[in-house]
Protein backbone atom coordinates (compact mmCIF):
# COMPACT_ATOMS: atom_id res chain seq x y z
CA UNK A 1 0.00 0.00 0.00
CA UNK A 2 1.18 3.52 -0.82
CA UNK A 3 1.04 5.48 2.41
CA UNK A 4 1.66 9.22 2.50
CA UNK A 5 3.11 10.66 5.70
CA UNK A 6 3.38 14.43 6.02
CA UNK A 7 5.69 15.86 8.64
CA UNK A 8 7.86 12.82 7.96
CA UNK A 9 10.81 14.12 9.99
CA UNK A 10 8.72 14.67 13.10
CA UNK A 11 8.60 12.64 16.29
CA UNK A 12 5.33 10.79 15.65
CA UNK A 13 6.07 10.29 11.97
CA UNK A 14 9.48 8.73 12.63
CA UNK A 15 7.90 6.15 14.90
CA UNK A 16 5.07 5.51 12.46
CA UNK A 17 7.37 5.11 9.46
CA UNK A 18 9.65 2.73 11.37
CA UNK A 19 6.63 0.62 12.26
CA UNK A 20 5.15 0.67 8.75
CA UNK A 21 8.41 -0.56 7.27
CA UNK A 22 8.42 -3.59 9.53
CA UNK A 23 4.71 -4.42 9.53
CA UNK A 24 3.46 -5.16 6.06
CA UNK A 25 4.54 -4.30 2.55
CA UNK A 26 4.10 -0.56 2.46
CA UNK A 27 5.60 2.10 0.24
CA UNK A 28 5.96 5.20 2.39
CA UNK A 29 5.66 8.53 0.56
CA UNK A 30 7.44 10.94 2.89
CA UNK A 31 6.51 14.62 2.78
CA UNK A 32 8.63 17.19 4.62
CA UNK A 33 9.07 20.96 4.58
CA UNK A 34 11.64 20.61 1.83
CA UNK A 35 9.42 18.50 -0.45
CA UNK A 36 8.85 20.18 -3.80
CA UNK A 37 5.32 20.90 -4.97
CA UNK A 38 5.53 18.43 -7.85
CA UNK A 39 6.63 15.68 -5.45
CA UNK A 40 3.71 16.48 -3.16
CA UNK A 41 1.27 16.29 -6.06
CA UNK A 42 2.71 12.97 -7.22
CA UNK A 43 2.30 11.57 -3.72
CA UNK A 44 -1.27 12.87 -3.63
CA UNK A 45 -1.98 11.01 -6.86
CA UNK A 46 -0.48 7.72 -5.63
CA UNK A 47 -1.41 7.63 -1.93
CA UNK A 48 -3.87 5.01 -0.72
CA UNK A 49 -3.90 6.21 2.89
CA UNK A 50 -2.82 9.63 4.16
CA UNK A 51 -1.30 10.36 7.55
CA UNK A 52 -1.28 14.14 7.83
CA UNK A 53 1.07 14.65 10.77
CA UNK A 54 2.71 17.91 9.70
CA UNK A 55 2.18 20.99 11.81
CA UNK A 56 3.72 24.09 13.31
CA UNK A 57 3.72 24.62 17.06
CA UNK A 58 6.67 26.88 17.88
CA UNK A 59 7.11 29.37 15.04
CA UNK A 60 9.09 32.59 15.14
CA UNK A 61 6.06 34.62 14.02
CA UNK A 62 2.45 34.21 15.09
CA UNK A 63 1.11 34.13 11.53
CA UNK A 64 3.15 30.99 10.86
CA UNK A 65 0.71 29.01 12.99
CA UNK A 66 -2.03 29.49 10.42
CA UNK A 67 0.36 29.06 7.49
CA UNK A 68 1.76 25.77 8.76
CA UNK A 69 -1.42 24.23 10.09
CA UNK A 70 -4.36 25.61 8.10
CA UNK A 71 -2.78 26.70 4.82
CA UNK A 72 -0.70 23.56 4.25
CA UNK A 73 -3.69 21.37 5.08
CA UNK A 74 -5.69 23.28 2.46
CA UNK A 75 -2.90 22.77 -0.10
CA UNK A 76 -2.80 19.07 0.64
CA UNK A 77 -6.56 18.61 0.32
CA UNK A 78 -6.70 20.54 -2.94
CA UNK A 79 -3.98 18.32 -4.41
CA UNK A 80 -5.82 15.16 -3.33
CA UNK A 81 -9.04 16.54 -4.83
CA UNK A 82 -7.22 17.40 -8.07
CA UNK A 83 -6.34 13.74 -8.59
CA UNK A 84 -9.72 12.45 -7.40
CA UNK A 85 -7.98 10.65 -4.57
CA UNK A 86 -10.68 9.36 -2.22
CA UNK A 87 -8.33 7.57 0.15
CA UNK A 88 -8.89 7.92 3.92
CA UNK A 89 -7.05 10.78 5.58
CA UNK A 90 -5.91 10.83 9.20
CA UNK A 91 -4.86 14.12 10.75
CA UNK A 92 -3.25 14.75 14.12
CA UNK A 93 -4.65 17.78 15.88
CA UNK A 94 -4.22 18.86 19.49
CA UNK A 95 -6.30 19.33 22.62
CA UNK A 96 -5.19 22.97 22.20
CA UNK A 97 -7.77 23.18 19.38
CA UNK A 98 -10.29 23.77 22.17
CA UNK A 99 -8.36 26.86 23.35
CA UNK A 100 -8.62 30.43 22.12
CA UNK A 101 -4.93 30.91 21.30
CA UNK A 102 -3.10 31.25 17.96
CA UNK A 103 -1.93 27.65 17.94
CA UNK A 104 -5.30 26.27 18.98
CA UNK A 105 -7.14 28.38 16.42
CA UNK A 106 -4.86 27.17 13.62
CA UNK A 107 -5.35 23.51 14.59
CA UNK A 108 -9.14 23.98 14.79
CA UNK A 109 -9.09 25.61 11.36
CA UNK A 110 -7.20 22.64 9.94
CA UNK A 111 -9.70 20.25 11.54
CA UNK A 112 -12.61 22.11 9.98
CA UNK A 113 -11.01 21.87 6.54
CA UNK A 114 -10.66 18.10 6.88
CA UNK A 115 -14.20 17.62 8.18
CA UNK A 116 -15.63 19.73 5.32
CA UNK A 117 -13.47 17.86 2.77
CA UNK A 118 -14.71 14.50 4.01
CA UNK A 119 -18.34 15.57 4.09
CA UNK A 120 -18.21 17.12 0.62
CA UNK A 121 -16.58 14.15 -1.11
CA UNK A 122 -17.76 11.30 1.11
CA UNK A 123 -14.22 10.52 2.19
CA UNK A 124 -13.33 8.87 5.47
CA UNK A 125 -11.64 11.36 7.74
CA UNK A 126 -10.00 10.59 11.08
CA UNK A 127 -9.14 13.49 13.39
CA UNK A 128 -7.12 12.83 16.55
CA UNK A 129 -6.84 15.58 19.16
CA UNK A 130 -3.71 14.40 20.93
CA UNK A 131 -2.68 15.46 24.43
CA UNK A 132 1.02 15.48 25.41
CA UNK A 133 2.90 12.69 23.67
CA UNK A 134 6.00 10.97 25.06
CA UNK A 135 8.35 8.23 23.90
CA UNK A 136 11.59 7.64 22.04
CA UNK A 137 12.91 10.16 19.50
CA UNK A 138 10.97 13.13 20.89
CA UNK A 139 13.03 16.31 20.72
CA UNK A 140 14.06 17.74 24.12
CA UNK A 141 13.86 21.44 24.95
CA UNK A 142 11.13 21.89 22.38
CA UNK A 143 7.53 21.12 23.33
CA UNK A 144 7.71 18.01 25.51
CA UNK A 145 8.52 18.28 29.20
CA UNK A 146 9.04 14.52 29.41
CA UNK A 147 11.64 14.63 26.65
CA UNK A 148 13.37 17.59 28.29
CA UNK A 149 13.40 15.96 31.73
CA UNK A 150 14.70 12.66 30.27
CA UNK A 151 17.45 14.41 28.36
CA UNK A 152 18.55 16.58 31.26
CA UNK A 153 18.55 13.85 33.87
CA UNK A 154 20.46 11.38 31.69
CA UNK A 155 22.98 14.13 30.89
CA UNK A 156 23.37 15.27 34.52
CA UNK A 157 21.69 18.61 33.86
CA UNK A 158 19.21 20.34 36.20
CA UNK A 159 15.47 20.31 35.55
CA UNK A 160 13.04 23.12 36.32
CA UNK A 161 9.63 22.53 37.91
CA UNK A 162 7.34 25.52 38.38
CA UNK A 163 4.33 23.58 39.65
CA UNK A 164 4.99 20.03 40.83
CA UNK A 165 1.25 19.35 41.25
CA UNK A 166 0.35 20.31 37.70
CA UNK A 167 -1.40 17.37 36.07
CA UNK A 168 -0.47 16.34 32.56
CA UNK A 169 -2.52 14.22 30.19
CA UNK A 170 -0.10 11.95 28.38
CA UNK A 171 -0.27 9.33 25.65
CA UNK A 172 2.59 7.00 24.77
CA UNK A 173 3.98 6.88 21.26
CA UNK A 174 3.53 3.10 20.88
CA UNK A 175 -0.15 3.41 21.82
CA UNK A 176 -0.52 6.07 19.13
CA UNK A 177 1.13 3.90 16.51
CA UNK A 178 -1.04 0.92 17.49
CA UNK A 179 -4.15 3.07 17.13
CA UNK A 180 -2.95 4.34 13.75
CA UNK A 181 -2.39 0.79 12.56
CA UNK A 182 -5.91 -0.07 13.71
CA UNK A 183 -7.27 2.91 11.81
CA UNK A 184 -5.73 1.58 8.59
CA UNK A 185 -7.72 -1.61 9.18
CA UNK A 186 -10.94 0.29 9.82
CA UNK A 187 -10.78 -0.33 13.58
CA UNK A 188 -10.23 3.21 14.79
CA UNK A 189 -11.34 4.24 18.27
CA UNK A 190 -13.94 6.80 17.22
CA UNK A 191 -15.81 8.90 19.75
CA UNK A 192 -18.39 11.00 17.90
CA UNK A 193 -16.59 13.25 15.39
CA UNK A 194 -13.12 12.61 16.82
CA UNK A 195 -10.94 9.57 17.27
CA UNK A 196 -8.97 8.90 20.45
CA UNK A 197 -5.80 7.17 21.52
CA UNK A 198 -6.03 5.16 24.72
CA UNK A 199 -4.95 4.92 27.43
CA UNK A 200 -4.47 8.52 28.54
CA UNK A 201 -2.22 8.78 31.60
CA UNK A 202 -2.93 11.63 34.01
CA UNK A 203 0.20 12.24 36.06
CA UNK A 204 1.49 15.11 38.18
CA UNK A 205 4.64 16.82 36.95
CA UNK A 206 6.41 16.21 40.25
CA UNK A 207 5.65 12.49 40.06
CA UNK A 208 7.18 12.32 36.59
CA UNK A 209 10.33 14.05 37.83
CA UNK A 210 10.56 11.75 40.87
CA UNK A 211 10.18 8.65 38.73
CA UNK A 212 12.88 9.79 36.31
CA UNK A 213 15.26 10.58 39.18
CA UNK A 214 14.59 7.13 40.63
CA UNK A 215 15.42 5.56 37.25
CA UNK A 216 18.80 7.27 37.39
CA UNK A 217 19.43 5.75 40.83
CA UNK A 218 18.71 2.22 39.64
CA UNK A 219 22.25 1.94 38.36
CA UNK A 220 23.56 2.52 41.88
CA UNK A 221 21.22 0.19 43.76
CA UNK A 222 20.83 -2.28 40.86
CA UNK A 223 17.04 -2.08 41.11
CA UNK A 224 14.35 -2.35 38.46
CA UNK A 225 11.28 -0.06 38.66
CA UNK A 226 7.80 -1.45 39.23
CA UNK A 227 7.05 -2.32 35.63
CA UNK A 228 3.63 -3.72 36.52
CA UNK A 229 2.46 -0.10 36.40
CA UNK A 230 1.81 0.72 32.72
CA UNK A 231 2.90 4.35 32.92
CA UNK A 232 6.12 3.53 34.80
CA UNK A 233 6.95 0.86 32.22
CA UNK A 234 6.49 3.29 29.32
CA UNK A 235 8.35 6.11 31.06
CA UNK A 236 11.30 3.85 31.90
CA UNK A 237 11.62 2.78 28.26
CA UNK A 238 11.45 6.42 27.24
CA UNK A 239 14.10 7.40 29.80
CA UNK A 240 16.56 4.78 28.55
CA UNK A 241 16.21 6.04 24.97
CA UNK A 242 17.76 9.36 26.08
CA UNK A 243 20.94 7.87 27.53
CA UNK A 244 24.09 9.34 25.96
CA UNK A 245 25.56 6.90 23.48
CA UNK A 246 28.80 6.71 25.48
CA UNK A 247 26.91 5.89 28.68
CA UNK A 248 24.96 2.71 27.94
CA UNK A 249 27.19 0.63 30.24
CA UNK A 250 27.74 0.78 33.99
CA UNK A 251 29.91 -1.19 36.42
CA UNK A 252 28.79 -3.67 39.05
CA UNK A 253 30.44 -4.31 42.41
CA UNK A 254 32.16 -7.70 42.20
CA UNK A 255 32.84 -9.49 45.48
CA UNK A 256 36.03 -11.39 44.61
CA UNK A 257 38.08 -13.89 46.62
CA UNK A 258 40.22 -16.96 45.93
CA UNK A 259 37.11 -19.06 45.24
CA UNK A 260 35.83 -16.81 42.43
CA UNK A 261 33.32 -13.99 42.64
CA UNK A 262 29.71 -13.11 43.48
CA UNK A 263 28.01 -10.10 41.88
CA UNK A 264 24.51 -8.74 42.34
CA UNK A 265 22.98 -7.89 38.95
CA UNK A 266 19.32 -6.88 39.41
CA UNK A 267 16.98 -6.22 42.32
CA UNK A 268 13.23 -5.79 42.42
CA UNK A 269 10.97 -4.86 45.30
CA UNK A 270 8.61 -7.80 44.80
CA UNK A 271 10.40 -10.29 42.51
CA UNK A 272 13.67 -10.81 44.36
CA UNK A 273 17.13 -10.39 42.92
CA UNK A 274 19.46 -11.89 40.31
CA UNK A 275 23.18 -12.43 40.85
CA UNK A 276 26.12 -13.90 38.93
CA UNK A 277 28.30 -16.45 40.71
CA UNK A 278 31.73 -17.48 39.35
CA UNK A 279 33.42 -20.55 40.88
CA UNK A 280 37.02 -21.55 40.26
CA UNK A 281 37.80 -25.20 39.32
CA UNK A 282 37.40 -27.55 42.29
CA UNK A 283 35.65 -24.94 44.43
CA UNK A 284 32.51 -25.74 46.41
CA UNK A 285 30.22 -22.94 47.54
CA UNK A 286 27.14 -22.98 49.71
CA UNK A 287 26.59 -25.58 52.44
CA UNK A 288 23.67 -23.71 53.93
CA UNK A 289 19.89 -23.82 54.04
CA UNK A 290 16.96 -21.38 54.32
CA UNK A 291 13.60 -21.21 56.11
CA UNK A 292 11.71 -19.08 53.56
CA UNK A 293 14.27 -17.84 51.05
CA UNK A 294 14.23 -19.91 47.86
CA UNK A 295 16.44 -19.74 44.82
CA UNK A 296 16.92 -20.88 41.24
CA UNK A 297 20.37 -21.79 39.85
CA UNK A 298 21.25 -21.81 36.16
CA UNK A 299 24.78 -22.81 35.13
CA UNK A 300 25.54 -21.03 31.85
CA UNK A 301 29.24 -21.88 31.49
CA UNK A 302 31.37 -24.77 32.76
CA UNK A 303 30.13 -27.88 34.53
CA UNK A 304 29.41 -28.86 38.09
CA UNK A 305 27.12 -30.59 40.55
CA UNK A 306 24.46 -29.20 42.90
CA UNK A 307 23.94 -31.33 46.00
CA UNK A 308 20.98 -31.36 48.40
CA UNK A 309 20.22 -32.92 51.75
CA UNK A 310 17.01 -32.41 53.65
CA UNK A 311 17.63 -31.12 57.16
CA UNK A 312 17.65 -33.95 59.75
CA UNK A 313 17.99 -36.62 57.03
CA UNK A 314 21.02 -38.42 55.56
CA UNK A 315 20.19 -38.95 51.88
CA UNK A 316 22.15 -36.73 49.45
CA UNK A 317 20.74 -35.87 46.03
CA UNK A 318 22.89 -34.68 43.13
CA UNK A 319 22.04 -32.69 40.01
CA UNK A 320 24.80 -32.47 37.40
CA UNK A 321 24.68 -29.24 35.42
CA UNK A 322 26.61 -27.62 32.58
CA UNK A 323 26.54 -24.68 30.23
CA UNK A 324 25.91 -26.85 27.18
CA UNK A 325 22.54 -28.16 28.38
CA UNK A 326 20.82 -25.35 30.24
CA UNK A 327 18.68 -26.56 33.13
CA UNK A 328 17.19 -24.50 35.95
CA UNK A 329 17.53 -26.09 39.38
CA UNK A 330 15.10 -25.03 42.11
CA UNK A 331 16.58 -24.68 45.58
CA UNK A 332 13.70 -25.52 47.97
CA UNK A 333 13.58 -24.34 51.56
CA UNK A 334 14.62 -26.80 54.26
CA UNK A 335 17.40 -28.39 52.17
CA UNK A 336 21.04 -27.66 52.81
CA UNK A 337 22.78 -27.34 49.46
CA UNK A 338 26.05 -26.61 47.74
CA UNK A 339 27.43 -26.23 44.24
CA UNK A 340 30.82 -27.60 43.14
CA UNK A 341 32.80 -26.81 40.00
CA UNK A 342 33.80 -30.14 38.43
CA UNK A 343 35.46 -28.64 35.36
CA UNK A 344 38.84 -27.19 34.46
CA UNK A 345 37.53 -23.69 33.79
CA UNK A 346 35.48 -21.15 35.70
CA UNK A 347 31.85 -22.15 36.21
CA UNK A 348 29.34 -19.32 35.83
CA UNK A 349 25.95 -19.60 37.52
CA UNK A 350 23.01 -17.21 37.30
CA UNK A 351 21.30 -17.21 40.69
CA UNK A 352 17.84 -15.87 41.47
CA UNK A 353 16.55 -15.40 45.02
CA UNK A 354 12.93 -14.66 45.84
CA UNK A 355 13.83 -11.85 48.25
CA UNK A 356 16.43 -9.15 48.60
CA UNK A 357 19.35 -9.88 50.90
CA UNK A 358 18.72 -8.50 54.37
CA UNK A 359 21.83 -8.51 56.59
CA UNK A 360 19.58 -8.14 59.66
CA UNK A 361 17.65 -11.26 58.68
CA UNK A 362 19.70 -13.26 56.15
CA UNK A 363 17.69 -16.50 56.58
CA UNK A 364 20.86 -18.46 55.83
CA UNK A 365 22.12 -21.23 58.14
CA UNK A 366 25.43 -23.04 57.70
CA UNK A 367 25.31 -26.83 57.52
CA UNK A 368 27.44 -29.23 55.45
CA UNK A 369 25.59 -31.24 52.86
Residues marked as catalytic: 103
Is 22 exposed, middle or buried, given 0-12, 13-18 or 19+ CB atoms closer than 10 A? Answer: exposed
The kind and range of the H/E element at 289 are: strand 284-289
Residues listed for the chain: 369
β-strands 2-6, 335-341 pairing: unpaired
Determine the Cα–Cα distance for residues 131 and 170; give it in Å rounded to an integer: 6
Determine the Cα–Cα distance for residues 327 and 21; give it in Å rounded to an integer: 38
Determine the Cα–Cα distance for residues 45 and 2; give it in Å rounded to an integer: 10
Determine the Cα–Cα distance for residues 237 and 241; give it in Å rounded to an integer: 7
Q: Is the distance from CB of 134 to CB of 239 less than 8 angstroms?
A: no
Determine the Cα–Cα distance for residues 149 and 133; give it in Å rounded to an integer: 14
Question: 3-state class of 17 per DSSP?
Answer: helix
Is 239 exposed, middle or buried, given 0-12, 13-18 or 19+ CB atoms closer than 10 A? Answer: buried
Q: Is the distance from CB of 132 to CB of 204 less than 8 angstroms?
A: no
Q: Is the distance from CB of 194 to CB of 128 less than 8 angstroms?
A: yes
Question: 3-state class of 178 per DSSP?
Answer: helix
Q: Which residues pair with 266 in a beta bridge?
A: 274
Give which of 134, 140, 143, 154 is closest to 240, Cα–Cα: 154
Amino acid sequence: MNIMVTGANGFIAKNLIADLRHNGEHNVLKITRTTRKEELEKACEQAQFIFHLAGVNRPEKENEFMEGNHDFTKELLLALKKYNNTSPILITSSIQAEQNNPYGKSKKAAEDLVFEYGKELGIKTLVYRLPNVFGKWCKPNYNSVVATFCHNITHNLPIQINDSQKKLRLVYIDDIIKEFQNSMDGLENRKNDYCEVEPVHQVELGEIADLLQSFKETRNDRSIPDLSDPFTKKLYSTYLSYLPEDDFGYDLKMNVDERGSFTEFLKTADRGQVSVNVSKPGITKGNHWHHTKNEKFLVVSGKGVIRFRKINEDEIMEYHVNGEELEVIDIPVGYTHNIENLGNTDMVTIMWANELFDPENPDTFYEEV
